[in-house]
Amino acid sequence: MEKRLGIIGIIVTDRDAASKRVNGILSNFPDIIRGRMGLPEIKENVCAIALFVEGTNDKIGAMTGQLGQIDNVKVSSTYIKK
CATH number at residue 70: 3.30.70.1150
When pLDDT is averaged across residues 9-26 and rounded to a whole number, the result is: 96
- Count the domains in the chain: 1
Q: Find the distance separating the first CA and the last CA of the chain, reported in whole Å.
A: 11
Residue 19 has pLDDT above 90, yes or no: yes
Q: What is the pLDDT of residue 1?
A: 80
When pLDDT is averaged across residues 74-81 and rounded to a whole number, the result is: 93
pTM for this predicted structure:
0.91
Q: CB count, 10 Å around CB of 12?
A: 25
When pLDDT is averaged across residues 2-28 and rounded to a whole number, the result is: 96
* CA dist list (Å): 38 to 22, 31, 58, 76, 79: 12, 19, 24, 15, 20
The per-residue pLDDT of the chain, averaged, comes to 95
Residue 15 structural domain: 3-81
